[in-house]
């Protein structure tokens, strides 16, 4: 017996919970939540000009809110860093949990690029910091070939080609750290962030860097590898929370050389106690 086809637009994923939108396998259907998408999209396009922007999207479970986030992540016109945040369930470690989510997302490869990339969001942030460093160095009389500057302005990840030129790459990273020390407020934690962030580019050190940049403390061997003084790092929960705040601020400073970040807090209905709210 032939049945009638569903009337479009319809939502084949209704009442189906979506996990992490970075990994969600479900296809996008443009007709679903088209109006909310256009409204949020219009708001987010203002972010490069008006930094303090927020939106609240309401809807029953299964109405497509997380799909909406996935569609925004895939939107080619949005030049934004995306961070997807699950409910933060421990009110004592909110900043630590938030920072962990930020770093997990920064380690993801952007999905909203027209060309398939192998570079994570954090790779792209660091690449743009290095480009800003070389531009500043050139503006103050340093020797950087004009064709090199032109090439890396158009495609910042081309700076990674210098990684194979040992001493030159080391000098670039040293200049970049000095550049950030001049341009950003630097406290004790921020100095450790600057020491670590360029080591993220070394895949053999990436796990240790992610541990520290997530607010946690690498073990003694990894701390030594990263040039951190393990015995000077306070391991208490309160210290970890304060360290996480400072690392978030430092990451915010790095974003000033690339593009704004949008935090997508999902499933806020699960903040079910006064302390969490």
pLDDT tens digit sequence for 101-120: 999 999 998 876 655 578 99
CB atoms near residue 87 (< 10 Å):
14
Q: What pLDDT is stored for residue 138 in this prediction?
A: 92
Half-sphere exposure of 48 (CA within 13 A, CB side): 10
Does the structure show a pLDDT above 70 at 176?
yes
Q: What pLDDT is stored for residue 11 in this prediction?
A: 55
Q: What pLDDT is stored for residue 12 in this prediction?
A: 52
Confidence band of 5 (pLDDT split at 50, 70, 90): very low
Structure tokens that stand for 101 in this block: 């989510």
Residue 2 burial (10 A CB sphere; 0-12, 13-18, 19+): exposed
Closest residue by Cα to residue 40 from 78, 83, 5: 78
Q: What pLDDT is stored for residue 69 in this prediction?
A: 87
Query: Sign of the C-alpha dihedral, residues 99, 129, 263, 11?
Result: negative
Q: What pLDDT is stored for residue 60 in this prediction?
A: 79
Confidence band of 3 (pLDDT split at 50, 70, 90): very low
Q: What pLDDT is stored for residue 166 in this prediction?
A: 83
Angstrom CA distances, 99 to 93, 96, 181, stand at 10, 5, 22
CB 28 within 8 A of CB 70: yes
Confidence band of 136 (pLDDT split at 50, 70, 90): very high
Confidence band of 276 (pLDDT split at 50, 70, 90): low
Angle ∠(267,269,274) on CA atoms, nearest 5: 130
CA 150 to CA 158: how far, in whole Å?
11
* Mean pLDDT estimate for the chain: 83
The answer to which of 19-28, 150-159, 238-247 has the lowest mean pLDDT is 19-28
30 or 264, greater pLDDT: 264
Does the structure show a pLDDT above 80 at 15?
no
Task: Collapse the DSSP code of 10 into the 3-class scheme (helix H, G, I; strand E, B; otherwise coil) and give the result.
Answer: coil
Q: What pLDDT is stored for residue 48 in this prediction?
A: 72
Does the structure show a pLDDT above 90 at 129?
yes
């Amino acid at each position: 017996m032939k049945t009638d086809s569903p009337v479009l637009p319809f939502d084949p994923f209704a009442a189906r919970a979506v996990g992490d939108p970075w990994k969600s396998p479900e296809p996008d259907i443009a007709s679903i939540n088209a109006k909310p998408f256009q409204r949020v999209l219009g708001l987010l396009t203002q972010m490069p000009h008006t930094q303090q922007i927020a939106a609240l999207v309401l809807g029953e479970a299964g109405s497509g809110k997380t799909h909406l986030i996935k569609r925004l992540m895939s939107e080619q016109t949005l030049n934004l860093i995306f961070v997807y945040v699950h409910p933060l369930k421990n009110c004592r470690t909110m900043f630590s949990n938030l920072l962990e989510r930020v770093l997990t997302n920064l380690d993801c490869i952007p999905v909203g690029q027209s060309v398939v990339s192998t570079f994570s969001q954090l790779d792209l942030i660091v690449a743009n910091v290095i480009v800003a460093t070389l531009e500043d160095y050139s503006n103050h009389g340093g020797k950087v070939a004009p064709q090199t500057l032109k090439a890396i302005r158009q495609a910042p990840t081309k700076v990674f080609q210098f990684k194979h030129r040992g001493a030159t790459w080391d000098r670039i990273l040293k200049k970049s750290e000095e550049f950030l020390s001049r341009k950003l407020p630097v406290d004790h934690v921020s100095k450790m962030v600057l020491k670590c962030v360029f080591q993220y580019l070394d895949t053999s050190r990436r796990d240790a860097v992610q541990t520290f940049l997530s607010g946690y403390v690498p073990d003694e061997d990894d701390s030594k590898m990263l040039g951190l003084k393990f015995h000077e790092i306070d391991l208490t929960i309160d210290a970890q929370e304060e360290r996480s705040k400072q690392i978030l601020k430092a990451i915010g400073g790095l974003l000033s050389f690339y593009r704004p970040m949008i935090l997508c807090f999902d499933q806020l209905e699960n903040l079910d106690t006064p302390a969490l709210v």
